[in-house]
Amino acid sequence: MGQDADLSGSDRDPVVCRCEAVRVGDLLGARDAWAIDSLRQLKLLTRAGMGICQGRVCGPLLEALARGWGWDPTGALASRPPARPWPMQLARGTDEGGRADER
Ligand code: FES
């Protein structure tokens, strides 16, 4: 971990996540300051990958950084939509046997 260059505050600190304006220096700083050891924790703390594109642009770069730090990025950037399918029979009335009303 200590072998990374200190890029924080530098003009050469590249942006990783454009949606949330997160730079490599932000990720390194959060990783070291909070002793983070997973991409999911880093994502939650820095918001990298949580912007409007939901990590479609920065996801591969974040995963590459995580692999370089020895982390397993599997599933860390999986999108979690705020809605899910709703069974239609719950929207209609049902009798005690669970059958839908025949109206
Ligand atoms: S570039 Fe990171 S969420 Fe869009």
C-alpha distance from residue 32 to each of 3, 16, 37, 42, 66 (Å): 12, 17, 9, 10, 13
pLDDT-derived band at 4, boundaries 50, 70, 90: low
Mutational test site, ligand 1, from 58, 61, 62, 63, max ligand atoms within 8 Å of CB: 58
Cα separation, 95 vs 102, whole angstroms: 10
What number does the ligand 1 atom closest to the CA of 59 have? 2
pTM of the model: 0.69
Which tens digits make up the pLDDT trace of 24-40? 999 999 999 999 999 99
Helix axis angle, 39-46 relative to 59-68, nearest 10°?
A: 130
Cα 103 to ligand 1 centre (Å): 49
DSSP 23: E
Output the CA 77–ligand 1 centroid distance in Å.
11
Angstrom distance (rounded) from CA 54 to CA 57 = 8
| pLDDT > 70 in the chain, percent | 76
Mean pLDDT of 7-36: 88
Residues with CB under 6 A from ligand 1: 17-20, 49, 51, 53-55, 57-58
